[in-house]
Amino acid sequence: MARVLITGGTGFIGSHLARKCLVRGDEVTLLVRPNSKLDRVSDIAAQLDIQRVPLTDQDRLDACLAQTRPEIVFHLGARTRFTAKKDLSDLQLGLDENLTPLVALLSACARATTSPKAFVRAGTIAEYGPIVSPYRESDKERPNNAYGLSMLAGTQFLSGVRSRIPFPVSTARLALTYGPAQSPDFLLPSLIQACLAGDPITISRPKDRRDLIHVSDVVSAILRMAEMSDTAPDVVNIGTGNAPTMREVTLAVVNAMGASVELSHFKDQRDDDHVELRIDPTSQRALLGWSPEIGLEDGIAMLVDTARQGVSHPTNRRSA
């Protein structure tokens, strides 16, 4: 049992992590924005210590850490979507939303009388940008948007201060995560809801490839990183190392749902125009002694079962 603090705990991955920590018997504090909705954790809210503290409020943040004395900190809070602006103001917004809170939280942990034993942050393979996959941790990153740039800035910041703080810090660069309670804006929940409704599905880039990892495996990986403490790697990719096409993913969902394949429509796409987002899993195996357990077929089957039980979210997405 440990005292755990999670930022982004009301989000998709964070809510799954909070549940797993409760199952382990941990004391779980969610550090959330003042206006955060608790929909994903409403059924377990009574078991959580929910602190509505802005990460930019130094005094309240210090008081929160003094009260909760977390042994493990998981920093999962991040903004993922930004509209590109001609004046590059989106880049400043990315830093404000994703780098500044990280620096504030890390600084508060460094000031705390009781330091955490581990600080694990969720990064993203968007940090690599448009380079050739599979992505390796040693690759030179080239992100070209506010999300990728701001998240890479956070990764570099953590790496740079490692020797200056009295507790270990590490970044888990996550592949594209899916699972129950994911926003309906994403492909898999959108496809499932379309099949349930009998609506047509249009895939605009069917030859694109994506490394898709189930949220339960992501939670398992970052818990493993926290357990390793001082021996946790600086940065490690978390994914499957496989990247099916969006056509293959769509047809897998249609098949699992028992829906008509005629619902699926695939736009033309040149062979030399596809994008592949895929990690090299070598480091996660070698450094963490860990590999994902849930294959895509089984993960889709689990999502379908959940949807058929009525645990779903309305969606307005019918294309990808």
What's 191's domain CATH number? 3.90.25.10
CATH of the domain at 115: 3.40.50.720
User: Into how many domains does the chain fold?
Assistant: 2
Q: Rounded CA gap, 2 and 79, in Å?
A: 28
Q: Are 141 and 91 in contact (CB under 8 A)?
A: no
Q: Rounded CA gap, 77 and 63, in Å?
A: 20
The predicted pLDDT at position 309 comes to 85
The predicted pLDDT at position 311 comes to 47
Tell whether 145 and 250 lie within a shared domain. Answer: no
Note the pTM of the prediction, 2 decimals: 0.94
Q: Is 38 helix (H, G, I), strand (E, B) or coil?
A: coil
Tell whether 203 and 122 lie within a shared domain. Answer: no
In a domain, 228, yes or no: no
For residue 251 the two structure tokens come to: 């047809």
The dihedrals phi and psi of 51, each to the nearest 5 degrees, come to -110, 115
The predicted pLDDT at position 23 comes to 97
Tell whether 34 and 149 lie within a shared domain. Answer: yes
Tell whether 145 and 186 lie within a shared domain. Answer: no
Tell whether 82 and 108 lie within a shared domain. Answer: yes
283: which residues sit within 8 A by CB, 6+ positions away? 136, 137, 233, 236, 237
Percentages helix, strand, coil for the chain (3-state, rounded to 5) are 45, 20, 40
200: which residues sit within 8 A by CB, 6+ positions away? 194, 263, 264, 265, 318
User: H helices within the chain, ranges in order?
Assistant: 12-24, 58-68, 89-94, 100-111, 146-161, 187-197, 215-228, 246-257, 282-288, 296-308
Q: Are 117 and 167 in contact (CB under 8 A)?
A: yes
The predicted pLDDT at position 308 comes to 86
Domain that holds residue 51: 3-174
Averaged over successive runs of 10 residues, the pLDDT of the chain (320 residues) comes to 96 98 98 93 97 94 97 97 97 97 97 95 98 97 97 97 94 97 92 93 96 98 93 95 97 94 94 94 96 97 89 38
What are 135's strand-pairing partners?
279
In a domain, 128, yes or no: yes
Amino acid at residue number 308: R
Tell whether 246 and 145 lie within a shared domain. Answer: no
Tell whether 112 and 143 lie within a shared domain. Answer: yes
Tell whether 165 and 185 lie within a shared domain. Answer: no
In a domain, 255, yes or no: yes
Decide: residue 164, CB within 10 A, 0-12 exposed, 13-18 middle, 19+ buried: exposed
Q: Rounded CA gap, 238 and 226, in Å?
A: 14
